Structure 1
């Protein structure tokens, strides 16, 4: 059995992993899609005015980044990721096959959206997502800034996510209109 340990990132982990790694490769995860499908009541919203944050929802495929972590760094990396990705346990830790851009298939640690968690928003229309994101603000700032940052970083990585770009357009239009 290989001692290789990989981590798959589809959001901020792509550009701000926060852990040491030996290799970074563009990768695709099949069977899950990047989506604003988790209610945020702390970082990008409040209980009175929830926002939305990213998750890996069932269906589709997601282009992201895979990071190979050295065995000597795994325990610290794993502990860091549990703390970073699981503060409210809205994700399920799993091992999934991802296809690296160079054609290799590797098993990677991923954090999938927990569809049974109370913060699971489900398959919201882009219009409903825009309504929730526009104007929402939490401890980490405005929800639209989180979305804008995501789209900018995806573009820098050569990833065009049409749904995220369309969502940003809808949110910005709402905010310009004052609602």
Structure 2
């Protein structure tokens, strides 16, 4: 008999592969300490969104959602480290958008001199990933962590989009690329993308670790993304060559 209280009831293989939100570094960020570190690295005081601006975005986005469960779409690091508590996780497919390594990372996975690349959700194509359900009674608390996790900078814009799961369609909040973000890059070749990822390293570690974890998640879930696996293989080869 299925235990409906088990968040991993549809995908038990994820139980030991998704970081417990209570132990996630993103749930326990000391923003004051981060501010000091970033400014010591030469970043300006406004390197991130202000707490007030971020909370305004949170409340505006969720103003019609209070009192109901919401789904969150993970297509990058949310797949293994969401940092928020959830009551259900499912595989999901979003049509009309695709995953693209298009966000220049000058802090987390790179530096201003050697920037890395993070995934964004861009128009066109299809994107596979996971959706996480956050219960209505937890939304006020958990949405703070979601916004601090994904909206600390100006990289994304939250949108509610229809997507398919094996148990039927859901409307989930997805973090699509912010067109006004100055760190949004134009499309580049797979080879150029792999070279940038292979050599970059930042506050959160080597850029290639992010790519490896993403590919691992897709292999575990038996999700298809030939381009993702080609990118990983190229980045591995460039990394070993120290290009």
Could you state the TM-score of these two structures normalised by the residue count of structure 1? 0.93
Given that 1:33 and 1:61 are in contact with CA atoms closer than 8 Å, whether structure 2 keeps it comes out as yes
CA distance in structure 2 between the partners assigned to 1:86 and 1:122 by the alignment: 21
Which one has the bigger strand percentage? 1
Residues 118-162 of structure 1 show CA distances to partners (whole Å, capped at 9, x for unaligned) of 110122211110121121110111111111111112111211321
From 9, 21, 26, the equivalent of 2:86 is 21
SS at structure 2 position matched to 1:170:
helix
Task: Give the Å deviation of 1:4.
Answer: 3.0
Higher Rg: 2
Number of aligned residues = 178
Which one has the bigger helix percentage? 2
Structure 2 residue runs of 5 or longer lacking an equivalent are: 1-64
Higher relative contact order (CA 8 A, sep 6+): 1
SS at structure 1 position matched to 2:199:
coil
SS at structure 2 position matched to 1:57:
strand
Distance 1:16 1:178, change over 3 A: closer
Given that 2:161 and 2:173 are in contact with CA atoms closer than 8 Å, whether structure 1 keeps it comes out as yes
Q: Are 2:140 and 1:75 equivalent residues in the alignment?
A: yes
Q: Are 2:96 and 1:31 equivalent residues in the alignment?
A: yes
From 143, 156, 172, the equivalent of 1:108 is 172
Counterparts of residues 51-130 of structure 1 (less than 5 Å) = 51-102=116-167, 104-130=168-194
Could you state the TM-score of these two structures normalised by the residue count of structure 2? 0.70
Structure 1 residue runs of 5 or longer lacking an equivalent are: none
